Amino acid sequence: MASFSFIIGIIGNVISLLVFSSPIGTFRRVVKKKSTENYKGLPYITTLLSTSLWCFYGLLKPGGLLVVTVNGAGAFLQFIYVTLFLIYAPKDKKVKAMKLVAIFNVGFLGLVIAVAFLAIHGNVRLTFVGIICAGLTIGMYASPLSAMRNVVRTKSVEYMPFFLSFFLFLNGGVWSAYAVLVKDFYIGVPNAIGFVLGSAQLIIYGFYKSSSEKSSEAREEEGSAHLVKGAIEMRDFDEAEEAQIKNRRLNKGRSLPKPSVSRQYSIHKIVKALSLDHP
């Protein structure tokens, strides 16, 4: 059982690293453009806090090596993201981000470590840190709820990245299984909630993805129908306009003044006189 839990933990490490490394493309763009554009620094700051605390939890927990390795790597990546954000963010965002880093990653993290070592002893220390870590992880898994709400409201999956939802789903499921095997309540509860929320995200994505495709096809068919209808109406309009032009020409010909009888008689006399002059 111990070896099986270790294998599951290794799989969990790999999936978690995929989740932690997902913003690499974003920060490659930030470095290239030398601007954070509309990106927010709060998700990376809070994830840095979460991974740091989980790393601390793994150090306190007997047999917590796999917890330390994955969260140590995650904390390192998040530290790089936060540093790049502080370098390339505009001045106002940079000041806000630095305040958040000071509050969460220095103040709160330092307070938890100080309380754990100075005020709490024995198993209560692990419980204290575990509860805080579980709460932060639940918050991390719950963060995409706003994206889910936007998908339901707009009926579009444009702002819900599929692979992030998929890897969060896998991450929650694998670490839930690991927690059951090692009997760790603090790892199990938040990841079980993450697994449920990840499943909900994938269901919503699949439902509205198919709905978006159907509505797109319907719009294309409707557009084609409008084009055909417009072409027919244009042809009918052209035919009607051509008929009106012909009618106007015909009416104009009919409305021309006819020569009077006396004028016709004078012309006839002139022609006859001319014909008599010739032998």
> How does pLDDT run along the chain (279 residues), one tens digit per residue?
568 888 999 999 999 999 899 889 889 999 999 998 888 888 899 999 999 999 999 999 998 999 999 999 999 999 999 999 999 999 999 999 999 999 999 999 999 999 999 999 888 999 999 999 999 998 888 777 777 777 888 887 776 777 778 888 899 999 999 999 999 999 999 999 989 988 988 888 888 887 655 555 445 555 544 444 554 555 554 565 566 666 666 555 554 454 444 444 444 444 444 444 444
**Does residue 15 form part of some domain?**
yes
**Does residue 195 form part of some domain?**
yes
| Amino acid identity at 229 | K
Residue 150, pLDDT score = 78
**Does residue 127 form part of some domain?**
yes
Answer for the pair 109, 49: CB distance below 8 angstroms, yes or no: yes
**Does residue 246 form part of some domain?**
no
**Does residue 179 form part of some domain?**
yes
Q: How many domains does the chain have?
A: 1
Answer for the pair 153, 208: CB distance below 8 angstroms, yes or no: no
- Take residue 33 and report the two structure tokens written for it: 């453009």
pTM over 0.75: no
Residue 229, pLDDT score = 54
**Does residue 258 form part of some domain?**
no
**Does residue 251 form part of some domain?**
no
Residue 244, pLDDT score = 64
- Take residue 2 and report the two structure tokens written for it: 């111990």
**Does residue 255 form part of some domain?**
no
Residue 279, pLDDT score = 44
Residue 249, pLDDT score = 60
Give the structural domain span for 144: 2-216
